[in-house]
Amino acid sequence: MTSIKRNIYISIAIVIAIVGIFIGVMYSQINGDKISKNTYINEIDVSGMTKIEAIKELEKKYTIGNIKFSYSSDTWDISPKDISLKYNLEDTVEKAYKFNKGKSFGENLINTIKSNFGKVNNIEVSTEYNEEKLKDKIENIAKEIDVEVKDASISISGSNINITDDQPGLKVNVGDSVSEFKNKVSKGNLNPEIIVTKVEAKIKKEELESIDTVLGSHSTKFDGGTTGRNTNIRLAAERTSNVLLMPGESFSYNDHTGLRTIANGYKNAPVIVQGVVQEGVGGGVCQVSTTLYNATLYAGLEYVNLRNHSIPSSYAEKGRDATVADGSIDFVFKNNLSYPIYVNNYVSGNTVTCQIYGSYKDKQKIEIVTSTDGVSAAPTKKVDDPTLPQGQEKVLEKGRDGYTVSTYRVYKDGNGDVLKKEKVSTSYYPKKQGVIAVGTMQEAVQPPENQPPVEESKPPEENAESQTPQPNPPQEPVPQETAPEEPAPPQE
């Protein structure tokens, strides 16, 4: 054997011996009763300790006392018993001990080698507590910390616009506070903080300060002597007033008025039901929706839901009315402008007024124009009436012409020149058939004066042979026509 080969064999033998010794050392660490090197429980180094030694070391720091939650300069003491808090040091040390002992030999060997070459293994102390009880405690603390956010608000009195300041709020974040507790307590720190979030107002004072002018206004009159209708108009005007709409927000008339019921404060008054005026709860609310509609027309607002009455209104021009009905018809408009708007309604005497306030930057010069596109004459049906003298007529049902009307907004500049003409809606008022009764009753014939008396007839039994029975004259049947019914709209 040459010297070169001998040296190679010697080198291999040395390497094998070293590897064997290394593996033996690692094996002894894996199977020993000591915790592997570079193992920490939080900041406490437990490397090379037995489990008993590690537990004693941890007990020096991890003792259960009162938990002191804090926020700003305030503190709240909570007993560990209140949330069933305890440290499980045995479980924690067991996790540290099994770092290089609880898996397959290959994995244990790799972990042991890593720890010997400086890789740190950090383990948190195992903590047990009742999370629901902890949340309850934090929520109780929140009652002392939380501050309700206040949006800026606006009110109008006469020509004065009053704006209150906004105030940010405070809100305890329970979830984050629980996480803060877990993190601190697992490290032996019993002084966690309450996590509080500042809540900014959605409506700022500076936004409302842009509301400085009337964009659109309209008034209509009503009969102040009709008590029920008078009450309904006042109530509807009040409930749809003092409403702030930020850009992009919509206004639902029905949402603000609520159901038109006796329980909701509304009274009986004339309403339109299936094209016929009759008594019903809430009569008069459509006059407010119509008045508000006209105010929004002048303000240049956008419509989401809009429908006219089935009968032209006495308080509004055709094409400029807006009807509503519980559960079926709503009047909805949208603030499509750049700045907030504010709805202000009031009743003075027998006049209801609706106003849309906003920024002068959104103010436009608008004229409202309506065009009657078509008129459909009301048909008339005549029916015989044997109770009226022949030829005499009596109106049973008054007819009503039908109309199709287009409504436009005309935008003008400061010189009065037209900038654009916008079609807002098409209103259709269906015609209604009239019914007239025509008398067919014949007048009785009176005998002329000085006519000799007619010889008295003999009793029937004496003239039976000479009498010939006369058949009754045939009677013409009275036609039983019915007017064609138009589709019945819901209550308005």
pLDDT tens string 137-186: 999 999 999 999 999 999 998 889 999 999 999 999 999 999 999 999 88
Nearest one of 199, 214, 210, 212 to 166, comparing CA atoms:
199
User: What residue ranges in 318-360 does DSSP mark as E strands?
Assistant: 332-334, 341-348, 351-358
Q: Tokens 């890789």 belong to which residue? A: 119
pLDDT at 82: 93
| pLDDT band, residue 274 (cuts 50/70/90) | low
What average pLDDT does the chain have?
Answer: 85
Tokens 């002084």 -> residue: 191
Confidence bin at 78 (pLDDT 50/70/90): very high
In 291-350, DSSP assigns E strands to 302-305, 332-334, 341-348
**pLDDT above 90 covers what percent of the chain?**
60
* pLDDT class of 381 with cuts at 50, 70, 90: very high
Lowest mean pLDDT among 33-47, 281-295, 398-412: 33-47
Q: Which of 16-25, 107-116, 235-244, 317-326 has the lowest mean pLDDT?
A: 16-25
Range in 36-45, 65-74, 393-402 the model is least confident about: 36-45
Judged by average pLDDT, the poorest of 104-118, 245-259, 410-424 is 104-118
What is the average per-residue pLDDT within 112-120?
Answer: 76
Whole-prediction pTM: 0.69
- 126 against 155, higher pLDDT: 155
Sheet strand arrangement including 402-412 = 365-376, 402-412, 418-429
Q: Which two tokens mark 166?
A: 């906004």
186 to 55, 81, 210, 240, 443: CA distances (angstroms): 15, 17, 53, 56, 113
Left if phi > 0, otherwise alpha if psi is -120 to 50, otherwise beta: which for 181? alpha
Taking domain 365-442, whether its CATH number is 3.40.50.720 is answered by: no
Extents of the domains making up the chain: 3-62+89-126, 217-363, 365-442
